């Protein structure tokens, strides 16, 4: 590993692997790798969106009616919470560039708090669905909506929102790691902020996917 010498009392200079010509090249490779990874994640959710479109074409009345059985208020609150969390994630990158590690930790903590709130609200939604029987596939038992295609709507609902919640949990883990580094190592700065930037990029993907899921499931 190669690194530049650090001034006395300053944070350790960022290191780069020997197969990279410079730190800048290493950071560029890391960003490119993240963009490639995010593109595969988009393809994953694109399959769910295509599945939704096909079944909505087959059962338009059932899907329109089933969407009205979701809690629009909770969905809207979750949307606001998640969009706001993207702001704090972006601010974490901003402060990492300036070397303000305490602010990085604070922004990460706020992002995690909102992410936890998102999951708690989603848990309340799931609990209500379990109680009334609007469950996936053969487990569907809700008597208030017996149109053909309604069980498929809730199958897609649980699959897409559950997969999204899984990504939220992963994003929380990555951000928490960056927050811990900001507190313990205090080595983020103008030349060493790529880790926070990549974690923020992943979190923006989580936000972007929900921006598509919300109107698709709750509004259309």
90-114 pLDDT, tens digit each: 999 999 999 999 999 999 999 999 9
With a cut of 80, say whether residue 19 has pLDDT above it: no
With a cut of 50, say whether residue 183 has pLDDT above it: yes
- C-alpha 183/C-alpha 105 separation (Å) is 6
Q: Per the structure, how many domains does the chain have? A: 1
- In 10 A of CB 8, how many CB atoms? 5
- C-alpha 195/C-alpha 201 separation (Å) is 10
Q: Which CATH number does the domain housing residue 129 bear?
A: 1.20.120.80
Q: Is residue 41 part of a domain?
A: yes
Q: Is residue 138 part of a domain?
A: yes
Residues in Cβ contact with 103 at an 8 Å cutoff, skipping those fewer than 6 apart: 91, 92, 95
Mean pLDDT for 72-92 is 96
* Mean confidence (pLDDT) of the chain: 88
Q: Is residue 180 part of a domain?
A: yes
Percent of the chain with pLDDT over 90: 72
Q: Is residue 7 part of a domain?
A: no
With a cut of 70, say whether residue 16 has pLDDT above it: no
With a cut of 50, say whether residue 2 has pLDDT above it: no
Question: Would you give the end-to-end CA distance of the chain in angstroms?
Answer: 53
Q: Is residue 75 part of a domain?
A: yes
**Global confidence as pTM:** 0.87
Per-residue burial over 19-49, b if 16 or more Cβ lie within 10 Å, else e, is ebeebeebbeeeeeebeeebeeeeeebeebb
- C-alpha 193/C-alpha 178 separation (Å) is 10
Q: Say how far residue 53 (Cα) sits from the centre of its chain.
A: 23
Q: Is residue 4 part of a domain?
A: no
Main-chain phi, psi angles of 105, to 5 degrees: -60, -40
Q: Which domain holds residue 149?
A: 20-219
Q: Is residue 35 part of a domain?
A: yes
- In residues, how long is the chain? 220
Q: Which of 13-27, 90-104, 119-133, 160-174 has the lowest mean pLDDT?
A: 13-27
Q: Is residue 141 part of a domain?
A: yes
Residue 220: its pLDDT value, please? 82
């Amino acid at each position: 590993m190669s690194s530049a010498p650090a001034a006395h009392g300053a944070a350790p200079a960022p290191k780069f692997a020997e197969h990279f010509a410079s730190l800048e090249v290493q950071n560029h490779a890391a960003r490119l790798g993240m963009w490639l990874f995010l593109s595969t994640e988009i393809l994953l959710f694109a399959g769910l969106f295509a599945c939704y479109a096909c079944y909505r074409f087959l059962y338009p009345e059932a899907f329109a009616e089933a969407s009205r059985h979701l809690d629009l208020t909770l969905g809207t609150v979750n949307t606001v919470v998640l969009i706001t969390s993207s702001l704090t994630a972006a601010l974490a990158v901003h402060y990492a560039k300036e070397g303000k590690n305490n602010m990085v930790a604070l922004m990460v903590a706020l992002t995690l708090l909102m992410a936890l709130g998102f999951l708690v609200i989603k848990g309340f939604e799931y609990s209500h669905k379990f109680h009334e029987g609007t469950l996936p596939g053969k487990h569907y038992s809700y008597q208030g909506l017996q149109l053909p295609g309604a069980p498929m709507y809730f199958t897609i609902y649980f699959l897409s929102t559950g997969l999204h919640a899984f990504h939220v949990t992963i994003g929380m883990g990555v951000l928490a790691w960056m927050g811990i580094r900001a507190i313990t190592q205090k080595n983020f700065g103008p030349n060493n902020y790529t880790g926070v930037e990549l974690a923020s990029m992943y979190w923006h993907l989580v936000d972007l996917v929900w921006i598509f899921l919300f109107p698709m499931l709750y509004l259309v």
